[in-house]
Amino acid sequence: MKPAIPDKLFYKIGEVCRIAGVEAYTLRYWETEFSFLQPRKSKTGQRVYAREDVELVLQIRDLLYHEGYTLAGVRKRFGAKRHPLLEDDESEATEGRDASGVLKKVKKELKALADWMDGNNR
């Protein structure tokens, strides 16, 4: 059942949270992960969501919470990349293509941690 969106031009973050059933920090996080979710800001710096933004939030929520998509999967579904400011990080899509890539990254991080711990025990 799709939640009813009140007929208004703009919505504050608290209203969007109530409609979507998510916390404000979740919406702010999604804005960093999805470059296509960028609500306007008012003169006072408050986020102002248009109806299309609210509908997009509902789609993201359904994909993540009900259909089991990952963040990378949602980006792929919408044909978007990570937020431009976060592009320095390794691409999740590249890592997630196969399990061996993820395992190699975990192994590398564990080795670095073990080396660091050995250095501190001397």
Give me the chain's average pLDDT, please.
83
| Contact in structure between 84 and 78 (CB atoms under 8 Å) | no
What is the structure's pLDDT at 95? 43
Q: How many CB atoms sit inside 10 A of residue 82's CB?
A: 19
CA 68 to chain CA centroid, nearest Å = 14
pLDDT by residue (tens digit) across 5-51? 999 999 999 999 999 999 999 999 999 999 999 999 999 999 999 99
Q: What are phi and psi of 12, to 5 degrees?
A: -80, 165
- First-to-last CA distance in the chain? 60
Please calculate the CA angle 58-62-63 and round it to the nearest 5 degrees: 120
More confident residue, 98 or 51: 51
More confident residue, 82 or 60: 60
pTM of the model: 0.64
